[in-house]
Structure 1
Amino acid sequence: MTQQQRQALDELLRHAPLDVGGEIIEQRKIFHEMISSVPLPDDVSAQRGELGGVPVVTVETPGLDPSAAVLYFHGGAYALGSALDSAGLAADVSRRVGARAISVDYRLAPEHPFPTAIDDAVSAYRALLAEGVPSGRIAFVGESAGGGLVAATLVALKDTDLPQPAGAAVFSPWVDLTVSGASATGKAELDPALTAEALRIRARDYLGDHDHALPLASPIFADLSGLPPLLVQVGSHEILLDDAIRLAGRAAGHDVPVQLQVWPQVPHVFQGFAALLDEAGQALDAAAEFIKQNWAD
């Protein structure tokens, strides 16, 4: 049955109207309409708020542990998407982990270029700590560019007075804004959602004249020593496969406890399709188990 599910999802994504590299205002609208076409379950609440001056959406599911929190970072190539758009996937994580998910509405490029997103992420984390949630009970989770933002934020935290969170899980992370991984071309025909050219367009929007290989822009080139335990999940049918593999390898080389999970024949951020794909639910279960294992008692 899963082969049929994978084929159906591939067809769905190939015929979707979204063009990640297209005109920004139009694509933001399309992105929102695609995501919002799937309503949140009745037992999920998503409340707008603020954390450290940064807009957030707090996603809650039944039976939560109030002592813990997931700080969630949405995808969209640093230019699309929103905290509310990501509420469905954040809710899937929240439900499995048993903790609220706080989705960060970091400012988007090109209106707010690098390093604004990182500044917003650090501000939100600082405020969450100030509210009394201990770092050992906080996990970072991010998808696509949000996964890259997780990694960049963890690196940025090393130059602050803040502790690292208990752990981090990233789904199909975009961590090389030079778009130099072999899979950018090697997986181009298999990837139904992303193209290397679209990512290069959005990288220019985000970075402007900055070097695309800056460690905080492309954490694949950063010193990852001192980072908390890291889980990296990726599909084998996506152009960001190499980003995930290299991130895990670099983390391991810098003595970071890291797990890499490559799920065969599934696309970019396949975890967002748990209603359609068995592997998505299995990957979310694995991510939740990883998060819970690394939380302080």
Structure 2
Amino acid sequence: MSVTRHGRPSLRSYPIWLGSRLLLKPTLALWPIGALGLRPLYLIDEIFALGPKAKTVAREQITLAGRPVELSVPARPSGRDEAAAVLYLHGGALVVCGLATHRAVASRLCQDIDLAVYSVAYRQLPEAGVGTSVTDAYQAYRELLIERGFKHVVVAGDSAGGFLAGKIVELAHRDGLTPPAAYIGYSPLLDLDLGTNPDRSSRRDAYLPIRKLASLRKQFDKGPIELDGVRRIAEVPPEAFPPTIVITAEDEMLEPDVLELVESLNTAGVPAQMHSYAWQVHAFPMLAGRHPEARQSIVLTAQFAKDAVAAARVGRRGIQRVG
């Protein structure tokens, strides 16, 4: 199986890991998940929106399938493939974060993959449940293919966004749409019911408390749109998947599900890679250019996706191993 362990963390990794374990994880464990606790979380994205913006990409606010989207393209002259794009779906447990919190990773991915990146502000809790989030993501994918004429779309996401990207893979296969050119997951959530799985533990996770995910599970099925299809991405038929690359933090709560998916895809002959980094926090690529491992993981996934798009362009599924 194609699993690469990265066991030599940078010096910056230790204080980030310890700070998350000592401060962030206890805070998340105590944070209320009722409407009064969830609604103020939108302020996090508002605060990030005040931060500096990368000058290496140009941004435009547009809509896809009726949802706000931030389009990023390289600011420098580029010979990019105009028939290919990336659809990025932010994480945040389907309750928090947005375009601003994930602007850095979208910008870095845009530069490294040299493609337009569409980041979707999908609906989430407390206003809407997972079925609605999935619908927003999938309709955005459909519009890129059917109305905007893209032939190859890479789907990418971190944490909960990784679940939405996996659902796009499933639904595109069900509907006979052009499949994604590649799947990129940064610590992807692959099982909506993970919080109640007796075989999973967050004891060694730097900041995700499994009990909080179990509590959120009760709200995931909130409407207005019901969730269609699987709740575990590992149950999606392997033949539905494009070339897949996933980044995890070693021993994080979500890593066993990633290992299961990659093993299943490899067994079915689908090119799939997993890269596990020691002493990292969940979804650490979100630290983008400020952290060596984040930078390395984005370069790695961007090259993988570029190879997958090139292979799709000539009708091949297999790609060369990277990293």
Q: How does the TM-score come out when normalised to structure 2?
A: 0.81
User: Are residues 244 and 31 of structure 1, via their aligned partners in 2, closer, same or farther at CA, if it must alter by over 3 Å?
Assistant: farther
Following TM superposition, by how much is the alpha carbon of 1:214 offset from its aligned partner in structure 2, in angstroms? Answer: 8.0
Letter in 1 for 2:163: G
Match of 2:220 in 1: 206
CA distance in 2, matches of 1:132, 1:89: 24
**Which is greater in Rg?**
2
CA distance in 1, matches of 2:42, 2:259: 29
Q: Describe the SS at the equivalent of 2:207.
A: coil
Following TM superposition, by how much is the alpha carbon of 1:270 offset from its aligned partner in structure 2, in angstroms? Answer: 1.0
The root-mean-square deviation of aligned C-alpha atoms, in Å, is 2.6
Match of 1:151 in 2: 166
Q: How does the TM-score come out when normalised to structure 1?
A: 0.87
CA distance in 2, matches of 1:7, 1:275: 17
User: Are residues 170 and 125 of structure 1, via their aligned partners in 2, closer, same or farther at CA, if it must alter by over 3 Å?
Assistant: same
CA distance in 1, matches of 2:183, 2:157: 8
CA distance in 1, matches of 2:57, 2:299: 18
Contact 1:168/1:231, CA 8 A, preserved across alignment: yes
User: Are residues 46 and 151 of structure 1, via their aligned partners in 2, closer, same or farther at CA, if it must alter by over 3 Å?
Assistant: same
Following TM superposition, by how much is the alpha carbon of 1:37 offset from its aligned partner in structure 2, in angstroms? Answer: 6.3
| Candidates 144, 160, 169, aligned match of 2:175 | 160
Q: What per-residue deviation string (whole Å, max 9, x for no partner) do you get for residues 192-236 of structure 1?
A: 321101222222222259xxx985332123323222111111110
Match of 2:124 in 1: 108
Using the aligned pairs only, state the percent identity: 24
Match of 2:320 in 1: none
Deviates more, 1:125-134 or 1:195-204: 125-134
Following TM superposition, by how much is the alpha carbon of 1:178 offset from its aligned partner in structure 2, in angstroms? Answer: 1.6
Deviates more, 1:151-160 or 1:21-30: 21-30
User: Are residues 131 and 208 of structure 1, via their aligned partners in 2, closer, same or farther at CA, if it must alter by over 3 Å?
Assistant: closer
Following TM superposition, by how much is the alpha carbon of 1:96 offset from its aligned partner in structure 2, in angstroms? Answer: 0.3
CA distance in 2, matches of 1:214, 1:240: 22
CA distance in 2, matches of 1:13, 1:31: 19
Give ranges in structure 2 of 5+ residues lacking alignment. Answer: 1-7, 314-323
User: Are residues 265 and 8 of structure 1, via their aligned partners in 2, closer, same or farther at CA, if it must alter by over 3 Å?
Assistant: same
Following TM superposition, by how much is the alpha carbon of 1:16 offset from its aligned partner in structure 2, in angstroms? Answer: 4.3
Letter in 2 for 1:260: M
Match of 1:53 in 2: 66
Match of 1:10 in 2: 17
Following TM superposition, by how much is the alpha carbon of 1:31 offset from its aligned partner in structure 2, in angstroms? Answer: 5.7
Q: Does 1:240 align with 2:249?
A: no
Contact 1:154/1:164, CA 8 A, preserved across alignment: yes
| Candidates 102, 106, 120, aligned match of 1:86 | 102
Q: How many residues align?
A: 290
User: Are residues 102 and 153 of structure 1, via their aligned partners in 2, closer, same or farther at CA, if it must alter by over 3 Å?
Assistant: same
Deviates more, 1:142-151 or 1:14-23: 14-23
Give ranges in structure 1 of 5+ residues lacking alignment. Answer: none
Q: Describe the SS at the equivalent of 1:49.
A: strand
Contact 1:32/1:81, CA 8 A, preserved across alignment: no
Letter in 2 for 1:251: L
Considering Cα pairs closer than 8 Å and 6+ residues apart, tell me whether 1 or 2 has the greater RCO.
2
Match of 1:75 in 2: 91
User: Are residues 201 and 46 of structure 1, via their aligned partners in 2, closer, same or farther at CA, if it must alter by over 3 Å?
Assistant: farther
| Candidates 155, 159, 165, aligned match of 1:140 | 155
Match of 1:19 in 2: 28
